[in-house]
């Protein structure tokens, strides 16, 4: 048994999960399970949103590995598949090579196309307007704004822009389009249009994982995710605030 290879594949599984938005404790649990299921006597791992540290001990030999995490997104399907795969290593007699192949297949799985993502983001914005008490006209305006915001977000991500600036730009465009929707009488209540559309930018998963990690005792991971959510909220406030302030100062009101 090659401990180095087992550590690498366990860290690979953890990397896929972290990059897909998994909680730290779930990543650590999965990595430890992969190691022990493949025959390692004992394993320990430490995961934060930006780094994974793993070690394994077998017959007096101790090996360690550090993996840097640079990309983060949201893909709950990948988290589920990696977690499920780790739970069935022993029962299905999955070899190390097969495990590598299955993890690679999971990592390479294509998500929904950009068109589908943009469409359903717009539908989400449409629905949130009703949740906050908006009218049908407000929801229709939010639908079209959602289309534009998600399109801009996806294009900026492909260009490799910083997430803070992507969110600020998207929030600014959102606010500007909300103002125009009022000016052309497409919507009735600008506040409802902005609130419904802005839900597309709210870091819901980061906030949830920050709370779950903190409660689970992973304080570093919890604070890091909380800081990430806080910065995203600031980016949203900056983007909308700048546009609204500029409009008010230039035209004297909305």
| pLDDT (tens digit per residue) in 65-105 | 999 988 888 888 999 999 999 998 888 888 888 999 999 99
* HSE toward the beta carbon, residue 30, CA cutoff 13 A: 28
d(CA 208, CA 27): 16
Mean pLDDT of 13-27: 91
Is residue 64 pLDDT above 60, yes or no? yes
Confidence of residue 254 (pLDDT cuts 50, 70, 90): low
Is residue 170 pLDDT above 80, yes or no? yes
d(CA 225, CA 16): 17
Is residue 148 pLDDT above 90, yes or no? yes
Non-local CB neighbours of 32 within 8 Å, separated by 6+ positions: 10, 43, 44, 45
d(CA 93, CA 99): 10
Give the highest mean pLDDT range of 2-6, 133-137, 157-161, 206-210. 133-137
**143-146: Cβ within 8 A, 24+ apart:** 144/177, 144/181, 145/174, 145/177, 145/178, 145/181, 145/193, 145/197, 146/121, 146/122, 146/197, 146/200
Tokens for 71, please give them: 């990309």
Q: What are residue 63's phi and psi, to 5 degrees?
A: -125, 150
141 with 117: CB under 8 angstroms? no
Mean pLDDT of 150-155: 92
Is residue 208 pLDDT above 70, yes or no? yes
Is residue 161 pLDDT above 90, yes or no? no
- Report the percent of the chain where pLDDT is more than 90: 52
Mean per-residue pLDDT over the chain, rounded? 89
For Cα atoms 6, 44, 222, give the angle at the middle one, nearest 5 degrees. 120
- CA distances 113 to 126, 151, 161, 218, 243, Å, are 20, 12, 20, 34, 31
pLDDT value at residue 147: 94
pLDDT value at residue 196: 92
* HSE toward the beta carbon, residue 63, CA cutoff 13 A: 18
Distance of CA 178 to the CA centre of its chain: 26
pLDDT value at residue 234: 93
Is residue 1 pLDDT above 60, yes or no? no
Is residue 252 pLDDT above 80, yes or no? no
pLDDT value at residue 71: 81
Non-local CB neighbours of 77 within 8 Å, separated by 6+ positions: 109
Confidence of residue 197 (pLDDT cuts 50, 70, 90): very high
pLDDT value at residue 140: 94
d(CA 173, CA 74): 23
Is residue 213 pLDDT above 80, yes or no? yes
Confidence of residue 59 (pLDDT cuts 50, 70, 90): confident
């Amino acid at each position: 048994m090659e401990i180095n290879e087992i550590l690498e594949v366990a860290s690979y599984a953890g990397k896929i999960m972290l990059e897909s938005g998994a909680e730290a404790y779930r990543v650590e649990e999965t990595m430890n399970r992969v190691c022990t299921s493949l025959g390692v006597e004992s394993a320990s791992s430490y995961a934060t949103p930006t780094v994974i540290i793993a070690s394994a001990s077998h017959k007096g030999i101790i090996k360690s590995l550090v993996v840097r995490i640079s990309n983060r997104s949201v893909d709950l399907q990948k988290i589920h598949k990696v977690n499920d795969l780790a739970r069935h290593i022993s029962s299905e007699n999955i070899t190390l090579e097969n495990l590598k192949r299955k993890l690679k297949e999971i990592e390479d799985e294509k998500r929904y196309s950009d068109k589908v993502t943009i469409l359903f983001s717009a539908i989400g914005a449409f629905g949130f307007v009703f949740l906050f008490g908006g009218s049908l006209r407000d929801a229709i305006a939010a639908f079209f704004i959602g289309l534009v915001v998600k399109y801009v977000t996806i294009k900026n991500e492909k260009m490799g822009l910083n997430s803070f600036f992507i969110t600020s730009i998207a929030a600014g465009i959102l606010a500007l389009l909300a103002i125009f929707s009022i000016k052309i009488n497409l919507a009735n209540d600008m506040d409802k249009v902005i609130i419904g559309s802005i839900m597309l930018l709210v870091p819901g998963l980061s906030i949830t994982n920050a709370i779950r990690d903190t409660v689970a005792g992973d304080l570093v991971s919890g604070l890091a995710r909380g800081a990430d959510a806080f910065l995203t909220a600031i980016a949203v406030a900056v983007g909308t605030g700048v546009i609204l302030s500029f409009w008010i100062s230039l035209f004297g009101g909305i």
